[in-house]
Amino acid sequence: MDFATIIEILDSAVRLGTPLLLACLAGLFSERAGIFDIGLEGKMLMAAFFSGAVAAVTGNAWLGLLAGIGGSMSLAMVHGLASITFRGNQLISGVAVNFLASGFTVLIAQSWFQQGGRTPQLSGNGRFEPITLPGAEAVKDVPVIGQIYSNLISGHSILVYVAFAMVPLTWWVLFRTRFGLRLRAVGENPESVDTAGVSVIRLRYTAVAITGALAGLAGTYLATGLAAGFVKEMTAGRGYIALAALIFAKWRPVPALGATMLFGLLEAISNRYPNIDLGVVNLPIQFMQAVPYILTVVILAGFIGKAIPPRAGGQPYVKER
């Protein structure tokens, strides 16, 4: 395996890991506030459909982005209404969101476009095209550093750079601002936050809204950046993988970056090498494609260290009279 091949695999890992990273950060805000959200899959799917549909109709990827975020946030508010206002079971609400998005997107896509649950193929301004960073062409022939800059760092769509920028921004918001302190406190001890005169309900709804926006970015990237339109069930379990990465990262933004890129790398390797011959045994393509999901099960089973969720996670808050 030469250096150019390694760069290609890493480049693919970044592209495949980006929607996982955005979804993982989305879940981070929600769960830090005490709202478990397994509906990330549904929010991403809804965002992918609306972004793909609007971009196909208007030919404008930015309008598609707004539509995708709007579609995701609408489901986020449904989840918030069920979990916060009506104090329902958060896991059941998340499952309901996933089922709703799965059926709704295919039904509306078929009704609008009559293409078997797909949106029309996107091209031109309907997609977020790769961006060539300054100096990338000039240094592309420079060994190692030039190749890394021109072929790995440069050449991604704007949503990829937004996703990476969200990691330090999320860290700063959660650990260096008053809002972040209150948000984390709501997930650990909402009674103390309420006693301090801060609205627990408002903070949790804010966290759910941020989750919807970030999941909307993730779904939009799937339809207008990674692919060229919406197809049925195109999220393919990425929402659940993002949740596994969140647990792996122990609800921290910087480790979340490493966890999601690890999943992206595994998928990139499985795409690049469908069959791997280990001499004694030949690993088939089905095994390689299943590796990210196997790792998800391993993480959720608790084999990768002990991950302690926010103490008030999953518990509806009832204000004391």
288 belongs to a structural domain: no
pTM listed for this prediction: 0.94
316 belongs to a structural domain: no
| pLDDT less than 50: residues of the chain | none
Q: Which domain holds residue 10?
A: 3-133+142-236
- Read off the tokens for 161: 């750079």
Reduced to 3 states (helix: H, G, I; strand: E, B; else coil), residue 2 is coil
69 belongs to a structural domain: yes
**Number of residues assigned to the chain:** 321
Whether 240 and 296 have beta carbons less than 8 Å apart is answered as: yes
Rounded to whole angstroms, how far apart are CA atoms 205 and 51? 24
Q: How many domains does the chain have?
A: 1
Which phi and psi angles does 277 have, rounded to 5°? -95, 115
- pLDDT tens, 96-124? 999 999 999 999 999 999 998 899 999 89
Q: Residue 125 gets which letter from DSSP?
A: G
DSSP per-residue letters across 33-99: TT---TTHHHHHHHHHHHHHHHHHHHS-HHHHHHHHHHHHHHHHHHHHIIIIIS---HHHHHHHHHH
Residue 283: its H or E element: strand 282-283
% of the chain residues with pLDDT over 90: 70
Rounded to whole angstroms, how far apart are CA atoms 39 and 212? 10
Residue 262: its H or E element: helix 253-272
Burial string for 189-217 (b: 16+ CB within 10 Å, else e) reads: ebeebbeeeeebeebbbbbbbbbbbbbbb
Rounded to whole angstroms, how far apart are CA atoms 101 and 75? 8
Using CA atoms, how far residue 17 sits from 37, 86, 195, 311, 319, in Å, is 20, 35, 41, 29, 40
Rounded to whole angstroms, how far apart are CA atoms 246 and 308? 11
Q: What is the pLDDT of residue 300?
A: 65
Q: Residue 225 gets which letter from DSSP?
A: I
83 belongs to a structural domain: yes
186 belongs to a structural domain: yes
Q: What is the pLDDT of residue 206?
A: 97
